[in-house]
Amino acid sequence: MTTILAPTRILIVDDNAAIHDDFRKVLATSKADQLADDEQFLFGESQRTTESHEFEIDSAFQGEEGLAKVRAAARSGRPYTMAFIDVRMPPGWDGIETISRIWDEYPTLQIVICTAYSDYSWHEICERLPHRQNLLILKKPFDAIEVMQLAYALTEKARLATEVAQHVACLEQRIQERTLELQRSNQELKSQVAQREQAESHLQHLAFHDTLTGLANRQCLQHNLQESIELAHSNPSEKFAVMFVDLDRFKSINDGLGHEVGDELLKVFSSRIEKTLRMDDLMNSTGAETLAGRLGGDEFVIILKKLRESIDAIHVAERLLRILDRPYEIQGQTIHVSPSVGVVNFDPRYQHSSEMLRDADTAMYEAKLKGGDSFVVFEPSMQAAIQVRLSMEHDLRQAIIAGQFWLAYQPIWSVQDLSLQGVEALIRWSHPEKGMIRPDLFIPIAEQTKLIVPIGEWVLRESCAQFGKWKRAGLPQFPKYISVNLSRVQLMQPGLIDIVKSTLEESQMQGSELQFEVTESMIMEDPQQACKVISQLKSLGVRLAIDDFGTGHSSLACLHEFQLDVLKIDRSFVKQMNEGTANPALLNAIVRLAENLGLECVAEGVEEREQLQQLGVIGCPRVQGYLLGKPKSNADFVNEYLLAPHLSASTVAANVECTTPSGSLVFDANLAPSPSLRV
């Protein structure tokens, strides 16, 4: 198969016009075809493809003209493939000069130098012409076949060189593209590796840090603490301590201001812990190490390592309390919270991190029982107290189920005529094995465990049910109201208003016949929420009394801000009257304050006649105490007070002698205490 290629352009540079004609005759198409036929004859057809060459001949008669034509051909996009150039071309450039000038601009042009004389040696030619790989010599006179072979060979060489150059350029482009692709892939891989390392680092951080505060989390704390314990066992000179920190009243802030404010408070609180530890002179001067972390909720743990002495932990706790007790500005609100801190120093008896955390938590709990805003160093005796509390909690749960509680009632009297004004319901617990358990022992535990909620509801419903029965019985003496103590947990309990409303309806009582007693410290712990609940209770007509007045820190604020009905003077003031240490002017001021504010005033803890007389002198209208009546069971209370027309002098005398009068009346079984606790 013969393929016709595009004409190959050849330039003849010679000063002899006859030479140009000779080249045209030799390089005619027929000659080219004859050469192709000769090749076919010599090499056979086999599987080769024969290409028919057609030459386009241009002429130049001087070297300058030849260079000009090479330039013009290149600019037109149809460059010359090869050139035949004569050596002698007077009067202009000779062939060597012409070739040198052409190759300066077009070094790939294939050239045949034509000469009849030995004008230049090959050595001289090589020195003057650097691109000799593109140079051949044709001696004059030349043979036609020789010219044809040179034309054909150099044409093929040029074509192949072009193809090679194009192929190399293509390869270079592909290599460049591939290199760019590899670079992009490498960059992407590096980016992916960096992202993966960043993700792994982030996951590592999340695995050992609290997401809210950025402090160490429980896992990190336990791991670090365990390492510290093992190090201290192997090196007795290593001293360290653990601090358990908890926010007082945090739940009230969360419930009253919202979790968003609570979370922000925790972040600021944790930031203060970190800054305090960094700024602590003791820690910096001794080279001690610290790790602060959050166990969850409002519980934080601090590990103090490399301490010089065990007392160093106390110094850190003191400074921490001062810093953490300062007001917090959260979302435009000023919040006052204080921490409770438990401290435990390492002791060889500790083998596991959980043991030190347990004892630090125990010490913190003791700090809370003291009222918070303090620290306590753990002592082994505290663990025994914890076991007692746990046992008490278990017994309380059993008591709720088994109905071991009952109510005692204590009268409240008018000082003027000793008439019965009200009655306070007081819970009592008869343990089947331990006997009577004092309220001051089990009430705090009930509040801490939230068991006070079902217990308090039972007290409310049981006392109101009993009051309703007294009311319907038509007894000679009848109190105007029944008073029930309300704990902080109950005050903040969701659904309290609905419980009170349903209780009043079930017992057929007016709201004014029910009085709740709350302490001023309990109200001021979360005044905003307390004000809201008190307002709802007042909407039901319920009476509110502030109990233990004078023992808190915000008495006047309580009286001014909240809708109270009764002020109960704490028993400590009455007791001091007998001891001669009380200031009569102070008691008189309290009574006058209540009178001016329109509050009923009740003095608690009246146990002697002299106390009653002095209270009468200063004008205190109501009293309550053992002198005029101890707390009694339902039956005894009814027989001694509700069935009697008035409080007799003999009864007062009997109470002073601490004896309990016995009545002979048989009382209606319907008025007996309920056999079980309703939860």
| Residue-level pLDDT at 283 | 58
Per-residue pLDDT, 556: 66
Q: Which of 59-73, 168-182, 271-285, 633-647 has the highest mean pLDDT?
A: 59-73
pLDDT at position 645: 57
The CA distance from 642 to 665, in Å, is 12
Cβ atoms of 627 and 609 within 8 Å: the answer is yes
pLDDT at 661: 31
Domains and CATH numbers, the chain: 2-166 (3.40.50.2300), 218-378 (3.30.70.270), 390-656 (3.20.20.450)
Nearest residue to 604 (alpha-carbon basis) of 512, 519, 481, 511: 519
Residue 543 neighbours by CB distance under 10 Å: 22
Q: Give residue 650's pLDDT.
A: 46
What sign results for the dihedral spanned by CA atoms 351, 356, 357, 361? positive
Which letter does DSSP use for residue 280 in this model?
-
The angle, 0 to 180 degrees and rounded to 10, between the axes of the packed helices 312-324 and 259-279 is 140
**Is 668:473 a contact under the CB 8 Å cutoff?**
yes
Residue closest to 545 by CA, chosen among 534, 529, 557, 536: 534
Instruction: Check whether 156 has a pLDDT greater than 90.
Output: no
Residues in the chain: 679
**What predicted TM-score, i.e. pTM, was given to this entire model?**
0.57
Order of all β-strands in the sheet with 82-86: 55-60, 8-13, 82-86, 110-115, 135-139
State the chain's mean pLDDT as an integer.
84
Please give the C-alpha separations between residue 513 and each of 417, 461, 544, in angstroms, as whole numbers: 21, 13, 11
State the sign of the Cα–Cα–Cα–Cα dihedral 5, 11, 12, 17.
positive
pLDDT in tens, 369-414: 787 889 999 998 888 888 888 899 999 999 999 999 999 999 999 9
What is the structure's pLDDT at 669?
32
Question: Where residue 46 falls among pLDDT bands split at 50, 70, 90?
Answer: very low
The token duo for 361 is 């938590």
The sheet that has 299-305: what strands, in order across it?
A: 289-296, 299-305, 241-247, 339-345, 374-377
More confident residue, 658 or 439: 439
Is 225 strand, coil or helix?
A: helix
4, with CB counted inside 10 A (0-12, 13-18, 19+), is exposed
For the residues 608-615, what does the mean pLDDT come to? Answer: 90
Give the C-alpha separation, 363 to 359, whole Å.
6
Asked whether residue 54 carries a pLDDT value surpassing 70, the answer given is yes
Residue 649 has pLDDT above 60, yes or no: no
pLDDT-derived band of residue 663, with 50, 70 and 90 as boundaries? very low
For residue 305, the SS3 value is: strand
- Give pLDDT, residue 431: 95
pLDDT at 294 over 70: yes
Q: Which two tokens stand for residue 292?
A: 């602060």
DSSP symbol at 640: I
| Percent of the chain scoring above 90 in pLDDT | 45
| pLDDT score, position 278 | 82
